[in-house]
Amino acid sequence: MREETDVENNRRIVYSINVEDLQRVANDELSRDLTIDEIKIIENKIGDYIPWYDAIFSAIHDTLDDRGNE
């Protein structure tokens, strides 16, 4: 049996954001918790605000650059 952290699993989640993360930012920025309705709206929109391709591209380049300097 393979471990759940097997990097060959194409369906493995690499990064995620949870409700605790949302609430931490809300408390830092708004000094209050988000409501359930607000969380649902943010959940549906948050992916639109994250430049996934650029983040992955940068991480790949940083990793390969670091490995080239070893």
Residue ranges per domain, the chain?
19-68
Local confidence pLDDT in tens for the 70 residues of the chain: 455 567 888 888 999 999 999 999 999 999 999 999 999 999 999 999 999 999 999 999 999 987 777 6
pLDDT at 36: 98
Burial class, 22, CB count within 10 angstroms (exposed 0-12 / middle 13-18 / buried 19+): middle
> Taking the model in full, what pTM does it have?
0.74
pLDDT at 2: 56
pLDDT at 69: 72
Helix H segments across the chain? 19-30, 36-45, 52-68
pLDDT at 60: 96
- Picking from 6, 38, 11, 8, the residue whose alpha carbon sits closest to that of residue 22 is 38
Pull the structure tokens for residue 63: 């990793």
